[in-house]
Amino acid sequence: MKKILLVVATLWCTFSLLTMSASAAECAVPAIDAPHATAVIYNPSYPNSHSTSHGHADRIWLDEKLVCRLDVKRYVIIPLSPGVHSLRSSNKDSGVKLDFKTNAIHYYRMSYDDSGWIVYTSLQPAPPESLAYDLQRMKPAKGETKPLPNQLDSSE
């Protein structure tokens, strides 16, 4: 029994160290010069959650193509051509599929379910009542150069 606990503890420590890594690659956000919609995705940190206090980052997918590895307290701005697009985190069972309209701005926050052994993430529409507070604590993701849009222009 002690050997099993030692193996589990070693695996958990290794996993925690790997997820704490700050060596995230730059975000590969598509460039669009024409009028477009915008998705702002941010990853808040919750000190009461063991997953985010260990620096849990997750990947963001746009139309099933990897766009970014988003660390805690970071945001990424994704310009979208008008039309239907899907956005999700690494959790393939959860995501957003929406008809994005020109000049619309949509805000999503990473949400975590760490009630079991595995941390599940999802994208949730950002609640308007906490959006301004959340965004003032965020920094751009590695490679992000655009400033945050005015959240009062949000279409959600």
Instruction: Decide if 135 is inside a domain.
Output: yes
Q: What pTM was computed for the model?
A: 0.72
pLDDT band for 20, please (50, 70, 90 cuts). Answer: very low
In this structure, what CATH number is given to the domain that contains residue 133?
2.60.40
Please tell me the predicted confidence (pLDDT) of residue 86.
Answer: 94
| Number of folded domains that form the chain | 1
Print the domain residue range for 144.
Answer: 24-153
Residue 123 has what DSSP assignment?
Answer: E
Q: Which residue has the higher pLDDT, 28 or 152?
A: 28
Instruction: Decide if 73 is inside a domain.
Output: yes
pLDDT band for 94, please (50, 70, 90 cuts). Answer: confident
Give the model confidence (pLDDT) of 30-89 as tens digits: 777 788 999 999 988 655 444 444 456 788 999 999 998 888 889 999 999 999 999 998
Instruction: Decide if 2 is inside a domain.
Output: no
CA distance 135 to 151: 9
Instruction: Decide if 110 is inside a domain.
Output: yes
Please tell me the predicted confidence (pLDDT) of residue 82.
Answer: 94
**74 and 40 Cβ atoms separated by less than 8 Å:** no
Instruction: Decide if 4 is inside a domain.
Output: no
Task: For residue 50, give every residue at least 6 positions away whose Cβ sits within 8 Å of its Cβ, in sequence order, or none.
Answer: 114
Annotate 64-119 with DSSP letters as a single string.
Answer: TEEEEEE-TTEEEEEEE-SEEEEEE-S-TT--EEEEEPTT-EEEEEEEEE-SSSS-
Question: Residue 5 pLDDT more than 50?
Answer: yes
Instruction: Decide if 9 is inside a domain.
Output: no
Give the model confidence (pLDDT) of 117-156 as tens digits: 777 788 889 887 888 888 888 899 888 888 888 754 444 4
Please tell me the predicted confidence (pLDDT) of residue 107.
Answer: 93
20-59: string of b/e by CB count within 10 Å (b at 16+)? eeeebeebebeeeeeebbbbbbbbbbeeeeebbeebbbbe
Question: Residue 21 pLDDT more than 70?
Answer: no
Instruction: Decide if 51 is inside a domain.
Output: yes
CA distance 64 to 136: 29
* Nearest-5° Cα angle at 60, 29 to 98: 85
Instruction: Decide if 144 is inside a domain.
Output: yes
pLDDT band for 108, please (50, 70, 90 cuts). Answer: very high
